[in-house]
C-alpha cells in the first residue's frame, strides 16, 4: 500500500531486547497479531531471529526477535550474544524491555551499558504493567529513566493489549523515511521449517521441570504433502540419555503430549492437517561442539 501523496512513508527494523523473560516475544506476538516468536517461561527460549512485519498505510515496521542477552557460559551462549549484537547493529529502533513486576537489576544495567555505541534510537518499554499497581509502576518508570537516556519510555501490557498500538506508533515514528521493504502479504521471512521446529521445541519445553534446561534442539528432517495432509518428520536432540527419558516420559506419554500440542499449533500456522512424527536423539554436549551447533542451525 503506497502512502498518499505528500505523506512520508517510513520503513525499517526494530527489535526488543532485555534480559530473559522480560516479555519480548509476547510483545512481538501481540504487535504482529499472530504467534510467530515462541514464548516460554524458560529463559533463552528464542534462538532464531524471527522477523514479524507490521503493515500500515504509511509505514512498514519489521520486528526482529532476538535471544535474550546474558553473560555466556557455553559456546552456544557466546554465539547467541554475538547474534544479538549483530542484530542490534542493523536495526533502526531498539526497545529495551523492563518487566514492571521485577525491580531494575544487574541484568538490566548490563544491557543498558551495551547500548552506548549504537546508532539506533533506543526507547524503553516497561512490560507487564497489568501485574502492578500505579504507585509501583511510577517508581519503576523513574528507576528505568535513570538507567539510560532513552528517547521515550512506553508502559505496555501485551496480555491486556494496553498501549500496544501506542508503542507501535512510537516505533514507527523513529523509523527512517524509506520505500516499502516487503510485499503487502508477507508476515514473516522465516522459512516455515524453522517456525515449525520452534513450535515443537516450545511444546517440548512446556512443563518440563528445571532438570532439562536448554538442552533441546529440534531439526525438521522432512516435510511433504500427501492427500491433503502435511507429513512432518522431526528429531528432538538432547545432550544426555537421562534427558531423553525425561522428554519421552513414562511409556512415551510425555512425547505424545508434546506431539499433540505441537501438531495443533503447526496446523494453525500452516492452515492444513498435519501428521507429526517425533524422535528423540542424543547428541552429547551439543551446546559446546561447533560441528553439532552447525548441524543444528546455530
Q: Identify whether residues 45 and 141 lie together within a single domain.
A: yes
Residue 5 lies in a domain: no
Do 151 and 210 reside in the same domain of the chain? Answer: no
For 113-130, b/e burial (b = at least 16 CB within 10 A) is ebbeeeebbbbbbbbbbe
Whether residues 41 and 103 fall in one domain: yes
pLDDT greater than 80 at residue 185: no
Report the CATH number at residue 40: 3.40.50.300
Same domain, 78 and 115: yes
Give the best-scoring range by mean pLDDT among 2-6, 14-18, 52-56, 100-104: 100-104
Cα dihedral sign for 186, 84, 198, 192? positive
Is it the case that residue 239 has pLDDT exceeding 60? yes
46 and 147 both lie in a single domain = yes
Model confidence at 3, in pLDDT bands (50, 70, 90)? very low
Task: Give the Å distances, CA to CA, from 94 to 129, 155, 185, 278.
Answer: 20, 15, 25, 37
Same domain, 36 and 160: yes
Domain final position from 173, 208, 235: 173
> pLDDT-derived band of residue 171, with 50, 70 and 90 as boundaries?
very high
240 assigned to some structural domain: yes
**Cell numbers describing residue 254:** 510425555
Tell me, yes or no, whether 155 and 197 share the same domain.
no
In a domain, 120, yes or no: yes
Number of domains in the chain: 2
- Provide Rg for the chain, Cα atoms: 20
Q: Does the pLDDT value for residue 188 go beyond 80?
A: no
Burial of 142 (0-12, 13-18, 19+ CB in 10 A): exposed
User: How far apart, in whole angstroms, are the C-alpha atoms of residue 214 and residue 212?
Assistant: 6
The verdict on 151 and 39 lying in the same domain is yes
If you average pLDDT over residues 179-202, what whole number do you get?
A: 78
User: Is it the case that residue 50 has pLDDT exceeding 60?
Assistant: no
Domain final residue pick, 173, 205, 229: 173
CA atoms of 254 and 45, how far apart (whole Å): 20
Domain that holds residue 200: 192-295
Mean pLDDT of 33-39: 56
- Whether the predicted pLDDT of 175 surpasses 80: yes
Domain co-membership, 61 together with 148:
yes
Question: How far is Cα 14 from Cα 110, in angstroms, rounded to an integer?
Answer: 20
Degrees, nearest 5: CA angle 98-26-11: 90
Q: What is the dihedral of CA 242, 215, 36, 227, to 10 degrees?
A: -50
Residue 181 covered by a domain:
no
Rounded to whole angstroms, the Cα distance separating 35 from 23 reads 14
Residue range 84-111: mean pLDDT, rounded: 86
Residue 126, in any domain of the structure: yes
pLDDT band at residue 4 using 50, 70 and 90 as cut-offs: very low
Query: Would residue 18 count as lying in a domain?
Result: yes
SS (H, E, C) 216-243: CEEEEEEEEEECCEEEEEEEEEECCHHH
Q: What is the pLDDT of residue 132?
A: 95
pLDDT, residue 52, reads 79
298 pLDDT band, cuts 50/70/90, is low
What confidence tens digit (pLDDT) does each residue in 195-236 have? 888 889 888 888 665 556 567 888 888 888 888 898 989 999
Which one is predicted more confidently, 185 or 249? Answer: 249
Give the residue-averaged pLDDT of 134-160: 94
Select the more confidently predicted residue: 170 or 79: 170
- Mean pLDDT, the chain, as a whole number? 82
DSSP calls for 135-204: HHHHHHHHHHHTTS--S-EEE--TTT-TTHHHHHHHHHHTSPB----S-TT-S--S-HHHHHHHHHHHHH
Amino acid at each position: 500500500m503506497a502512502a498518499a501523496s505528500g505523506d512520508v512513508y517510513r520503513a525499517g527494523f526494530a527489535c526488543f531486547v532485555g534480559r530473559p523473560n522480560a516479555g519480548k516475544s509476547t510483545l512481538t506476538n501481540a504487535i504482529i497479531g499472530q504467534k510467530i516468536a515462541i514464548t516460554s517461561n524458560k529463559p533463552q527460549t528464542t534462538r532464531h531471529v524471527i522477523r514479524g512485519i507490521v503493515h500500515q498505510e504509511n509505514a512498514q515496521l519489521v520486528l526482529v526477535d532476538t535471544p535474550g542477552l546474558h553473560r555466556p557460559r557455553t559456546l552456544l551462549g557466546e554465539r547467541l550474544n554475538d547474534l544479538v549484537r549483530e542484530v542490534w547493529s542493523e536495526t533502526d529502533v531498539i526497545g529495551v524491555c523492563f518487566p514492571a513486576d521485577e525491580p531494575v537489576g544487574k541484568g538490566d544495567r548490563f544491557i543498558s551499558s551495551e547500548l552506548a555505541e549504537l546508532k539506533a534510537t533506543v526507547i524503553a518499554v516497561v512490560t507487564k504493567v497489568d501485574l502492578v499497581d500505579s504507585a509501583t509502576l511510577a517508581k519503576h518508570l523513574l528507576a528505568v529513566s535513570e538507567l539510560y537516556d532513552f528517547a521515550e519510555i512506553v508502559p505496555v501490557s501485551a496480555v491486556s493489549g494496553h498501549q500496544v498500538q501506542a508503542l507501535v506508533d512510537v516505533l514507527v515514528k523513529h523509523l527512517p523515511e524509506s520505500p516499502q521493504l516487503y510485499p503487502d502479504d508477507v508476515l514473516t521471512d522465516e522459512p516455515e521449517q524453522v517456525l515449525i521446529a520452534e513450535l515443537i521445541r516450545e511444546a517440548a519445553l512446556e512443563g518440563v521441570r528445571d532438570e532439562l534446561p536448554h538442552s533441546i534442539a529440534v531439526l525438521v528432517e522432512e516435510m511433504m504433502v500427501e492427500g491433503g495432509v502435511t507429513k512432518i518428520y522431526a528429531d528432538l536432540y538432547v545432550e544426555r540419555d537421562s534427558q531423553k527419558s525425561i522428554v519421552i516420559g513414562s511409556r512415551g506419554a510425555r512425547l505424545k503430549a508434546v506431539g499433540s500440542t505441537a501438531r495443533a499449533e503447526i496446523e494453525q500456522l500452516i492452515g492444513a492437517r498435519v501428521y507429526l512424527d517425533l524422535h528423540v536423539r542424543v547428541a552429547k554436549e551439543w551446546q559446546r561442539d561447533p560441528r553439532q551447533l552447525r548441524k543444528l542451525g546455530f
